[in-house]
Amino acid sequence: MAETRSLRVTGKEPVADGVVALTLADPGGARLPDWTPGAHIDLILPNGSVRQYSLCGDRWDAYTYTIAVLRETNGRGGSAYIHQDLDLGEAVGLGGPRNNFPLVPAERYLFIAGGIGITPLLPMIAQADLLGADWRLLYGGRRTASLAFGHDLAGYGARVHLRPEDRYGLLDLPGFLAAWQPGTRVYACGPAPLLAAVERACTGFPPHTLRTERFAAALTGPVRSMPFEIELARSKTVLTVPADSSVLDVITAAGADVLSSCRQGVCGTCEIIVLAGEPDHRDSVLDDTERAAGACMFACVSRSRSDRLVIDL
């Protein structure tokens, strides 16, 4: 499938039991869209399935993204595909980056990670450390060998508590959270039972203290790789968007007066109103509710899931 926005796999290496880290770069060597800690990207795999992965590399490197992928035994094949089949040099489609889990300013942070949930926290930790914040990490997993990046994190010293279950049992959340003081923000990412336990352990804290990200299983179905149609409702024109062109290019070539600016789905200039059809959002602007509503889209990067989109132009 020809993707209009794609990334090339430039590195692939195991980082823990069942976890590979992928390094991704623009095929033409261009800068990648900027991101902030807590952000994720959509990876669009060659079969059209979409998977979300947190960016866990260094944002000061504008040319590569790093993600870490856990092989899920009962998953729907996306992670198995990445582990087994996705080779160096191959291309994958890109959506985002988007951030539903931003690091807010604070003097103190308590980070809690379960397993692969460490990934969004890695850049947060780097940043908290850079800013001289007071922070601690509690990181659990099955065994020492399954704690991805555990070795790197150990370099931070006493701030980091690596707690593999086979040696320590379940995470001691109350003990860790006893360090809480007013103004401390708690960030947690990991499997649903861990997040539920963290929520219970944080009930006494003021509102907005705890921020969590769950790796939602409620992902949408595969995206289409086939061309689709765009109907310009006012001029009753129907245009075809081939797999390797953007909506923006097709409609502006047909004479529509749609402004754009960043062409990365960031600035929000090329918003178009969707009257019918289901957009395939690839931007960094809309929140989950707006994405689900499907009433607008950003023409520079977003596409269509349905055969036809009717837009207000």
Partner 1 sequence: MKPLTTGAGSVQPPTSLADPFDHGNLEDPGPLHESLRAAGPVVHLSRYDTYALARYEQVHAALTDWQRFQSAAGVGLSNFRYEEPWRPPSLLLEADPPRHDAPRRVLSAIVGPRSLHRLRAKWAADAAGLVDRVLGTGDVVDVVPALAEAFPLRVFPGAVGIPADGRENLLPYGDHLFNAFGPPNDLVAAGAGRIAGLSAWVNGQCARDRLAPDGFGAAVWAAADRGDLTHEQAPLVVRSLLSAGVDTTVHGLSAVLYAFATHPDQWERLREQPSLARVAFDEAVRWESPVQTFFRTATTDVRVGGTVIPDGAKILMFLGAANRDPRRWTAPDRFDLSRDPSGHVGFGMGIHQCVGQHIARLEAESLLTALARRVSRIEPAGPVARHHNNTLRAWHSIPVRLHRK
Minimum distance of partner 1 from residue 140's CB (angstroms): 25
- Dihedral angle at the C-alpha atoms of 276, 280, 282, 285, nearest 10 degrees? 40
Contact pick of 271, 278, 306, 308 for partner 1 (by CB under 8 A): 271
Measured CA to CA, the distance from residue 254 to residue 203 in angstroms comes to: 56
Listed residue (209, 212, 141, 135) closest to 179, CA to CA: 135
- Rounded CA gap, 48 and 147, in Å? 30
Query: 112, 187 in Cβ contact below 8 A?
Result: yes
Site string (94-133) toward partner 1, x via CB under 8 A = -----x--xxxxx--------------------x--xx--
Taking CB under 8 A as the rule, does residue 245 contact partner 1? no
The answer to the question of residue 202 lying near partner 1 (CB under 8 A) is no
Element (H, E) at 124: helix 118-130
Residue 259 found at the interface with partner 1 (CB under 8 A) = yes
Residue 267 interacting with partner 1 (CB under 8 A): yes
Q: Does residue 23 bind partner 1 (CB under 8 A)? A: no
How many residues bind partner 1 (CB under 8 A)? The answer is 38
CA 80 to chain CA centroid, Å, is 18
Q: Where are the beta strands (DSSP E) in 71-127?
A: 91-98, 108-114
Cβ of residue 208: shortest distance to partner 1, in angstroms? Answer: 4
Handedness of CA 291, 293, 294, 299 (dihedral sign): negative
> Minimum CB separation from partner 1 for residue 134, in Å?
15
Give Cα 245 distance to the centre of its chain. 24
By the rule CB under 8 A, 55 interacts with partner 1: no
Q: Among residues 130 and 217, whose Cβ is nearest to partner 1?
A: 130
Contact set for partner 1, span 203-242 (CB under 8 A): 208-209
Interface contacts to partner 1, rule CB under 8 A: 29-31, 34, 36-37, 59-60, 62-63, 99, 102-106, 127, 130-131, 185, 208-209, 252, 257, 259-263, 267-271, 285-286, 290, 296
